[in-house]
Amino acid sequence: MGSETSGNSNNKSAVVLSKLATNEQHGENSPYFDGWKAYDNDSFHLVNNPNGVIQMGLAENQLSVDLVEEWIVRNPNASICTTEGIESFRRIVNFQDYHGLPEFTTAIAKYLGKTRQGKVKFDPNRVVMAGGATGANETLIFCLADPGDAFLVPSPYYPGFNRDLRWRTGIQLLPISCTSSNNFKITIEAVQEAYQNAQQANINVKGLILTNPSNPLGTILDRDTLKKLLTFTSQHNIHLVCDEIYAATVFDAPQFISIAEIIDDNEIRNHCINKDLVHIVSSLSKDTGFPGFRVGIVYSFNDDVVNCARKMSSFGLVSTQTQHLLASMLSDGEFVEEFLIESVKRLRKRHEKFTNGLEEVGIKCLKGNAGLYCWMDLRPMLKEPTFDAEMSLWKLIINDVKLNVSPGSSFNCPEAGWFRVCFANIDDQTVEIALARIRMFVDANNNVNENGVVKNKQQWKKNKLRLNFLNGKYDENAMNMNMMSPNSPIPISPLVRARN
């Protein structure tokens, strides 16, 4: 059966896939995903591959996994695959209602409130589960828009939105340009301009998408900005989608403010805000570090959207085994409280350690207070302020410094030279190695002029970067091989090579 195409390799060209399957909207060819491929092909390991690529392009929270492991040990009955929990096995494995286990949706609603400082309450009946934030975002777009419609989104924005929001839905994303002149803050004027431009181009704008806290900036939206944006969307009768998957990663003042809190603001109520146009996307991938559980949440204030999203969730349900475990864990109020407090402490400590290490070598980052990453400013290292120069620098960092950081162009950043670097998915020792690689990379650049001539050979030697310019090789014994790739082009500054 099907032998006419599968039995002979010569006939492979005869297989025709759908336009949806083969279009370029997935975004897989983005440098963002290319960096992951480079890591997959040469993954760093402290013992087995110390010269490999360190993964700093993955926004994953692994800093507090030990707390979860300890809870699981203390609560074996939370799993249906243990002697203590086996009595729930039959009920859980036979449950098929796509509304979700009642104890799960109740626990999720309480958790959402907890991660917003208890300032708002969430209704379990409005909790719709999906296969991670990816599935939640796509489900919501399917409910709100038709192919060809558009959503405004502040740039820079998460590269995965091209896949999550556009690929299968057929909608458009229209960037709202935000720049470093005001620390990439979104302004109502920029939103108005983007909306007007779309109107003039006869593009049907269905909504505005916000990521709060921001990925990749690591910043949050203030109350005044949220009020203005909510007022704008209501006045223009378009949807406001707030992706709040990093809500519990805010590690410094000011506190996170959810759009759910803004809706209940007395001042906003006087502006005739339409709650039916407001929707929240959440997940457990970032806050708790459970990306493999694929728990995404659509929370809408619109009854019709809730009902439609719930029907669509049939294509990406969370397994009942996972629901059962998480219902037990998230219902443990004492544990959740302690976990969130400790997680924030560890994120703050790691952020300070990494940004301080960058500052020591003259690299600045946008000031942020949330997320699992930094928005790193490498503009001074570019030959010229172009995206071609950015890509040249990025390729050197990937291939020679062996760090997978993500270039700003993959986030649709309007300025060249910005990079997102993640710090919460690796251990302390790997952070030290990454910083050491960056330090030597910067030292190499600082000690070589644009013509490739060493400016201070004595300082070069002090940095253990003794070069032999006659034979084009460096002294391998002078370098800790845990810190730099043996393929690093040290005799010629990496940035000089980028200029050629």
Lowest mean pLDDT among 315-319, 390-394, 447-451: 447-451
The amino acid occupying position 289 is G
Question: What's 248's DSSP letter?
Answer: G
Indicate which residue of 34, 164, 243, 287 is catalytic.
243
DSSP 308-374: HHHHHGGGSPPPHHHHHHHHHHHT-HHHHHHHHHHHHHHHHHHHHHHHHHHHHTT-EE----SSSEE
Q: How much is the pLDDT for 129?
A: 93
Do β-strands 150-155 and 205-211 pair in parallel, antiparallel, or remain unpaired?
Answer: parallel
Do 390 and 408 form a contact (C-beta atoms < 8 A)? yes
Give the side-chain half-sphere CA count within 13 A for 386.
Answer: 7
User: What would the pLDDT profile of 314-366 be if each residue is shown by its tens digit?
Assistant: 888 888 899 999 999 999 999 999 999 999 999 999 999 999 999 999 999 99
Q: What percent of the chain has pLDDT over 90?
A: 70
Rounded mean pLDDT of 171-194? 96
Q: Which pLDDT band, with edges at 50, 70 and 90, does 282 fall under?
A: very high
Q: How much is the pLDDT for 123?
A: 97
Q: pTM value?
A: 0.86
Is 158 among the residues known to form the active site? yes
Indicate which residue of 227, 286, 397, 400 is catalytic.
286
Task: Quote the mean pLDDT of the chain.
Answer: 86
Question: What's 256's DSSP letter?
Answer: P
Is 490 among the residues known to form the active site? no
Say yes or no to pLDDT of 50 above 70.
yes
Lowest mean pLDDT among 6-20, 83-97, 360-374: 6-20
Rounded mean pLDDT of 81-109? 87
Indicate which residue of 32, 158, 373, 474 is catalytic.
158
Contact partners, residue 197, CB within 8 Å, separation at least 6: 174
DSSP 4-63: HHHS-GGGGGG----HHHHSSTT-TTSHHHHHHHHHHHSB-BTTTBTTSBEE-S-----T
Is 238 among the residues known to form the active site? no
Say yes or no to pLDDT of 144 above 70.
yes
Indicate which residue of 80, 245, 257, 433 is catalytic.
245
- 122: exposed, middle or buried (Cβ count in 10 Å: 0-12, 13-18, 19+): buried
Q: Which pLDDT band, with edges at 50, 70 and 90, does 447 fall under?
A: low
Say yes or no to pLDDT of 471 above 50.
no
